[in-house]
Each structure stands twice: as C-alpha cells, then as structure tokens.
C-alpha cells in the first residue's frame, strides 16, 4: 500500500517551499514572460512551476550538466629547481539531495539509459552515480501529448513510472502525490500536504488507469535493429530521409537520452580544469580525427549514426532497451521538422521512401 498526500492547486507553493528549504528542488518553468517553451530550473520561493506542458529542454542537465568540472589541476614549480614541476590535483564530487518535481515519464526514462551507461558497467562514473543516488523524481501522470509525442511506440507510456520515486496525478483541484518506493517516504513526509479523501484517491486511480491505456503514437519502434542493419549501406535511403538536415545539434541537446560528451582541459597559466561537456554526433567535429580524416564526413553518415545508436546499438548492448524515450522533442524543435519516427519506420520498407 503506497502512501499518498493531496496538494491543492493553490497549495503547491508551501509544499515546494518546505521541500526546497531542505534540498534542491527542480521544477519546469516558462522560459520567459513571452516565451512558448519551458525548462527546468532550481526552485526558490516565488518560482512559478508550469506543469501543464512539456518543457523545451528535458531535466537531463540535473544529472548530466552541460558542462562540469571533473577535476582541477595546478602545476607547481620547485623554486630551487625550475625543471622539477609538481602537479596538484583536486577533484570534488558535490551531490546534494535533489527532487525533480513535475518531470514527465519520458523525461525520466532517459535516466534509465544513463544508469546503464554510467553505472551499469565495470567502471562507475562517480560523478553521475553520486548525483543519481541523491535525486528523487516526482513524475507527472502525463495528460498532454501532441502530434510529435510517441512514448507508447518505444515501449513506455504516459503513465509509465519506471525510474520514478513519486507519482503526481493531476486532479481537478490539485495533485495526488504517492510514494512509489520506500526511499520516497521521507520526501513525502517533508512535503506535508493533506490527507487525500476517498474520492480523490478514486479519481486518481481512474485517471491513472485511463492514462495507462492511452496509446501515444502509432506503430512500434522497439524492434528496428535488424531493419537498421539492412539499411546501413543504403546511402540512397539516408539521403532521401534526411536531406533537409542542417547539421545543428538541437535534436541531441534537447534529447533526454543523448549523453555523448567531450572531455577537454581548459588551462590558463599554470592552472586548469578538466571539463566534461555535452557533445553532439550531428557535428562534423564529433568524429573528426587528428589526422584530418573524418569517418562521418557528411550529415547522412551522422544522422544514420544517431538512428543506429538509439535503435540498434543500444538495444544490442543493453538487452533490448532502446535509446529513445518518445518525448518528441527532436521532432518539435527541429528547424526543418525531420520526423525520427518516419525515418525508423521506413527502415522496414523495401521501396525507397523518398517518393
């Protein structure tokens, strides 16, 4: 039996105020007064969460910041003998208890892949692991989807709570918050809120049931690995699908599952920092080798890699899990409206899809 509280619509602020006094709380907000999109920011009293629409950028950066310092270093010259140089290294991993309040199932699903990549193998990424262990997800049962959404096509759904700790069910007059696992109980306690009435519990259960049955997106993209391999050499196919691509990095930067990064040393004088920052496989520089050779010289090879990575290489490596959460952000934000679903679906067809 899960524990639950009810937060009336006008009672959201006190709850988040209490929570943010104890830990970091991230909420989706509007990007600005006249902006259509939204993003996740650290909640401070007075922040107005926008829970009615999907944010432009996912909560990815909470666990994988766009840039983070892995370590800092300094060369120290011996004053007696200038040829002797010592290196001082410093690495700190700061991870504060964090709640992500109001993410959607698709947003959280990205982290299931991150878990496999950063903490699933023999080498653990301590930076990610520490943050992950300290982060709790209070996830919305999603009721807003549009033509670009396709979470059901990737094996998830608008009420999928995998990877989440608390479930937020939007009701007429507020939210029902339920702890899904034991580790969420202290968070729930901290939130306070009201004891839910029986009607509220029932309404929430009905909504959850109804949402679980929704089919968001048509078709099934989860078994596309073989089709991809069949199309790998078919450059004509990739040309027909993505000639419009302008090689920008929007799709990868707004993607909750894209995790590729670059590591660079930034040095000034005798001191420096080793930085990890997001990279994008859509960029020419991503695979550019020191010799000048580039194994993915054009956007077609690069886009093919993006599809292959998500729908073929990842499932092969992680027991069928696919590298796409169906949030539709890459479709919505694409300057030229490339539809990743179509590219994957058409892998199957024998005929060229260009006509």
- Decide: is 339 part of the binding site for another protein (CB under 8 A): yes
Q: Which of 159, 331, 344, 347 binds another protein (CB under 8 A)?
A: 331
Give dist(CA 52, CA 171) in Å, integer. Answer: 12
* 249 binding another protein? (CB under 8 A): yes
Query: Minimum distance between the CB of residue 202 and another protein, rounded to whole angstroms?
Result: 27
Is the Cβ of residue 6 or residue 26 nearer to another protein in the bound state?
26
Site for another protein contains 305 (CB under 8 A) = no
> Per-residue contact track with another protein, 4 to 23, x per CB under 8 A?
--------------------
Q: Given the structure tokens 């306070």, which residue do they identify?
A: 192
Q: What angle do CA 206, 211, 216 make, to 5 degrees?
A: 165
For 222, how many CA atoms within 13 A lie in the half-sphere containing its CB?
Answer: 15
The window from 93-101, 102-110, 132-140, 280-288 that contacts another protein (CB under 8 A) reads: 280-288
Residue 167 is given by DSSP the state E
Binding to another protein (CB under 8 A) within 158-217 occurs at: none
* H/E stretch holding 272: strand 271-278
- What is the footprint of another protein within residues 131-160 (CB under 8 A)? 145-148
- How far apart, in whole angstroms, are the C-alpha atoms of residue 287 and residue 282? 10
CA distance 298 to 302: 7
Identify which range of 28-36, 112-120, 196-204, 303-311 contacts another protein by CB under 8 A: 28-36
Q: Work out which of 131, 167, 296, 299 binds another protein, going by CB under 8 A.
A: 299
257 is an interface residue for another protein by CB under 8 A: no
Query: Which secondary-structure segment (H or E) carries 266?
Result: strand 261-268
- CB atoms under 10 Å from CB of 303, counted, come to 24
DSSP one-letter code for 192 = -
- Among residues 301, 297, 318, 310, the alpha carbon closest in space to that of 340 is found at 310
Residues that bind another protein (CB under 8 A): 31-32, 35-37, 39, 53, 56-57, 66-67, 145-148, 239, 243-244, 246-250, 252-254, 262, 264, 266, 275, 277, 280, 283-285, 298-300, 331, 333, 335-339, 341-342, 354-355
């Amino acid at each position: 039996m899960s524990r639950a509280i009810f937060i009336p619509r006008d009672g959201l602020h006190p709850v988040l105020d209490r929570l943010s006094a104890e830990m970091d709380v991230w909420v989706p907000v509007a990007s600005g007064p006249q902006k259509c999109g939204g993003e996740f920011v650290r909640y401070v009293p007075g922040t107005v969460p926008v829970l009615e629409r999907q944010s432009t950028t996912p909560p990815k950066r909470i666990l994988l910041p766009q840039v983070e310092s892995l370590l800092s270093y300094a060369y120290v010259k011996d004053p007696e003998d200038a040829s002797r140089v010592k290196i001082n290294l410093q690495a700190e991993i700061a991870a504060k208890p964090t709640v992500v309040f109001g993410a959607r199932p698709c947003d959280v699903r990205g982290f299931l892949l991150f878990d496999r990549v950063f903490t699933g193998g023999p080498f653990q990424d301590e930076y990610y692991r520490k943050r992950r262990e300290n982060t709790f997800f209070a996830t919305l049962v999603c009721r807003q989807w549009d033509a670009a959404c396709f979470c059901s096509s990737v094996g998830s759904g608008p009420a999928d709570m995998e990877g989440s700790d608390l479930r937020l069910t939007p009701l007429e007059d507020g939210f029902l918050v339920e702890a899904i696992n034991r580790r969420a109980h202290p968070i729930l306690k901290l939130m306070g809120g009201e004891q839910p009435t029986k009607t509220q519990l029932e309404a929430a259960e009905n909504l959850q049931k109804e949402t679980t049955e929704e089919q968001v997106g048509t078709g099934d993209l989860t078994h596309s690995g073989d089709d991809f391999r069949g199309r790998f050499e078919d450059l004509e196919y990739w040309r027909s699908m993505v000639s419009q691509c302008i090689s920008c990095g929007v799709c990868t930067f707004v993607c909750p599952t894209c995790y590729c990064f670059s590591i660079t040393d930034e040095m000034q004088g005798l001191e420096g920092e080793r930085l990890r920052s997001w990279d994008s496989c859509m960029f020419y520089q991503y695979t550019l080798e020191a010799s000048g050779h580039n194994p993915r010289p054009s956007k077609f090879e690069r886009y093919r890699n993006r599809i292959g990575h998500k729908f073929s290489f990842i499932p092969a490596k992680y027991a069928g899990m696919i590298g796409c959460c169906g949030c539709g952000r890459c479709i919505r934000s694409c300057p030229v409206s490339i539809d990743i679903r179509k590219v994957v679906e058409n892998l199957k067809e024998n005929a060229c899809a260009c006509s």
